[in-house]
Chains A and B, each alone.
Chain A
Amino acid sequence: MVALRGLTKRFGDAVAVDAIDLDVYADELVTLLGPSGCGKTTTLRCVTGSLEIDAGSIRIGGVDVTRVPTHRRQVGLVFQNFALFPHMTVGENVAFPLKVRRVPAKEIRDRVGEALMLVRLGHVADRYPRELSGGQQQRVGLARAIVYRPPLVLFDEPLSNLDAKLRREMRYEIRRLRDELGFAAIYVTHDQEEALALSDRIAVMNDGVIHQIGEPAEIYANPRTLFVAEFLGNPNRIAGTLVARRAAGAVVQVGTTEVETRAPVDAIRPGEEVVLVIRPEAVAVARSGGASGANRWEARVVALSFLGERQECRLAVDGGFVVHAYLPPTRRHALGDVVAIEVPAGECRVFRT
Chain B
Amino acid sequence: MSGLAAASRGAGASASSESPARMERIAHSTRRLLVYTVLLAFSLYIVGPFAAILVNAFGQGWFGGRWLPETWTLKWFRFARTVADLPTLMTNSLTIAGLAIAISLAVGIPTAWAMAKRRVRARALLMALILLPRMVPPITIALGVSREFYGFHLVDTHLGIALAHSILIIPLVVLIMSATFEGLDDRVLEAARVCGARWTHTSWYVIRPLVMPGLLAATLFGFVTSLNEFTLTLLTYGPRTVTLTVETYVQIGQGFTTIASALSAILLVPSLILLVLIQNHIKPENVVGGTKGI
Enumerate chain B interface residues (CB-CB to A < 8 A): 185, 187-188, 190-198, 201, 205-206, 209-210, 291-294
Q: When the two chains form their complex, are residues B193 and A70 in contact, meaning their CB atoms are under 8 A apart? A: yes
Which of A73, A86, A96 touches B292 (beta carbons < 8 Å)?
A86
Which of B194, B209, B293 touches A84 (beta carbons < 8 Å)?
B293
Which of B191, B196, B198, B201 touches A85 (beta carbons < 8 Å)?
B191
CA distance A144 to B209 in the complex (A): 19
Would you list 16 pairs from A and B whose C-beta atoms are within 8 A, ordered by A residue? A49-B193, A70-B193, A70-B194, A71-B194, A71-B195, A71-B198, A75-B194, A77-B194, A79-B293, A81-B187, A81-B293, A82-B293, A83-B293, A96-B195, A100-B201, A101-B196
Enumerate chain A interface residues (CB-CB to B < 8 A): 48-50, 70-77, 79, 81-87, 96-97, 99-101, 129-130, 134, 137, 144, 148, 161
* Total number of residue pairs linking A and B with CB closer than 8 Å: 74
Q: When the two chains form their complex, are residues A76 and B194 in contact, meaning their CB atoms are under 8 A apart? A: yes
Q: When the two chains form their complex, are residues A83 and B197 in contact, meaning their CB atoms are under 8 A apart? A: no
Q: When the two chains form their complex, are residues B195 and A86 in contact, meaning their CB atoms are under 8 A apart? A: no
CA distance A220 to B51 in the complex (A): 81
Q: When the two chains form their complex, are residues B291 and A86 in contact, meaning their CB atoms are under 8 A apart? A: yes
Q: When the two chains form their complex, are residues A96 and B197 in contact, meaning their CB atoms are under 8 A apart? A: yes
Give the shortest distance, in Å, between A255 (CB) and chain B (any CB).
51
Q: Which residues of B contact A75 (CB under 8 A)?
A: 194
B-side interface mostly:
helix
Q: When the two chains form their complex, are residues B196 and A86 in contact, meaning their CB atoms are under 8 A apart? A: no
Q: When the two chains form their complex, are residues A87 and B293 in contact, meaning their CB atoms are under 8 A apart? A: no
Closest 5 CB pairs of A and B: A86-B291, A97-B195, A83-B191, A83-B293, A83-B187
Q: When the two chains form their complex, are residues A71 and B197 in contact, meaning their CB atoms are under 8 A apart? A: yes
A82-B294, A83-B187, A100-B197 are known contacts; what are 17 more A-B pairs with Cβ within 8 Å? Answer: A50-B193, A70-B194, A71-B195, A72-B196, A75-B194, A77-B190, A77-B191, A81-B292, A82-B293, A83-B191, A84-B188, A85-B192, A86-B292, A97-B195, A130-B291, A144-B191, A148-B195
CA distance A74 to B194 in the complex (A): 8
CA distance A265 to B294 in the complex (A): 46
Nearest neighbor of B294 in chain A, beta-carbon distance? A81
Give the shortest distance, in Å, between B202 (CB) and chain A (any CB).
8
CA distance A76 to B185 in the complex (A): 19
CA distance A137 to B291 in the complex (A): 14
Q: When the two chains form their complex, are residues A97 and B291 in contact, meaning their CB atoms are under 8 A apart? A: no
| Of A81, A86, A148, most B-chain CB atoms within 10 Å | A86
Give the shortest distance, in Å, between A214 (CB) and chain B (any CB).
29
Q: Which residues of A contact B194 (CB under 8 A)?
A: 48, 70-71, 73, 75-77
Give the shortest distance, in Å, between B80 (CB) and chain A (any CB).
44
Give the shortest distance, in Å, between B210 (CB) and chain A (any CB).
6
With A79-B191, A81-B293, A100-B201 given, is the CB distance from A87 to B196 under 8 Å?
no
Q: When the two chains form their complex, are residues A86 and B210 in contact, meaning their CB atoms are under 8 A apart? A: yes
Q: When the two chains form their complex, are residues A100 and B196 in contact, meaning their CB atoms are under 8 A apart? A: yes
Nearest neighbor of B188 in chain A, beta-carbon distance? A83
Q: Which residues of B contact A73 (CB under 8 A)?
A: 194
CA distance A160 to B209 in the complex (A): 29
| Of B192, B209, B292, B294, most A-chain CB atoms within 10 Å | B294
CA distance A77 to B293 in the complex (A): 14
Q: When the two chains form their complex, are residues A97 and B196 in contact, meaning their CB atoms are under 8 A apart? A: yes
Q: Which residues of B contact A137 (CB under 8 A)?
A: 294
Give the shortest distance, in Å, between A128 (CB) and chain B (any CB).
9
Q: Which residues of B contact A161 (CB under 8 A)?
A: 294
Give the shortest distance, in Å, between A98 (CB) and chain B (any CB).
9
CA distance A102 to B92 in the complex (A): 46
Q: Which residues of A contact B187 (CB under 8 A)?
A: 79, 81, 83
CA distance A286 to B25 in the complex (A): 73
With A79-B293, A96-B197, A100-B196 given, is the CB distance from A87 to B191 under 8 Å?
no
Give the shortest distance, in Å, between A60 (CB) and chain B (any CB).
13
Q: When the two chains form their complex, are residues A71 and B191 in contact, meaning their CB atoms are under 8 A apart? A: no
Q: Which residues of B contact A77 (CB under 8 A)?
A: 190-191, 194
Which of B190, B197, B201, B210 touches A50 (beta carbons < 8 Å)?
B190
Q: When the two chains form their complex, are residues A85 and B193 in contact, meaning their CB atoms are under 8 A apart? A: no
CA distance A137 to B30 in the complex (A): 50
CA distance A82 to B294 in the complex (A): 6
CA distance A161 to B187 in the complex (A): 15
Q: When the two chains form their complex, are residues A83 and B291 in contact, meaning their CB atoms are under 8 A apart? A: no
Q: When the two chains form their complex, are residues B195 and A100 in contact, meaning their CB atoms are under 8 A apart? A: yes
Nearest neighbor of A141 in chain B, beta-carbon distance? B191
CA distance A77 to B190 in the complex (A): 9
Q: Which residues of B contact A82 (CB under 8 A)?
A: 293-294
CA distance A48 to B185 in the complex (A): 18
CA distance A97 to B202 in the complex (A): 11
Nearest neighbor of B186 in chain A, beta-carbon distance? A83
Nearest neighbor of B189 in chain A, beta-carbon distance? A83
CA distance A80 to B195 in the complex (A): 16
Q: Which residues of B contact A83 (CB under 8 A)?
A: 185, 187-188, 190-191, 293
Q: Which residues of B contact A101 (CB under 8 A)?
A: 196
Nearest neighbor of B185 in chain A, beta-carbon distance? A83
Q: Which residues of B contact A71 (CB under 8 A)?
A: 193-198
Give the shortest distance, in Å, between B208 (CB) and chain A (any CB).
10
Q: When the two chains form their complex, are residues A87 and B209 in contact, meaning their CB atoms are under 8 A apart? A: yes
Give the shortest distance, in Å, between A198 (CB) and chain B (any CB).
21
Give the shortest distance, in Å, between A348 (CB) and chain B (any CB).
45
CA distance A136 to B192 in the complex (A): 19
Give the shortest distance, in Å, between B63 (CB) and chain A (any CB).
57
Nearest neighbor of B290 in chain A, beta-carbon distance? A86
Q: When the two chains form their complex, are residues B294 and A87 in contact, meaning their CB atoms are under 8 A apart? A: no
Nearest neighbor of A96 in chain B, beta-carbon distance? B195
Q: Which residues of A contact B292 (CB under 8 A)?
A: 81, 86
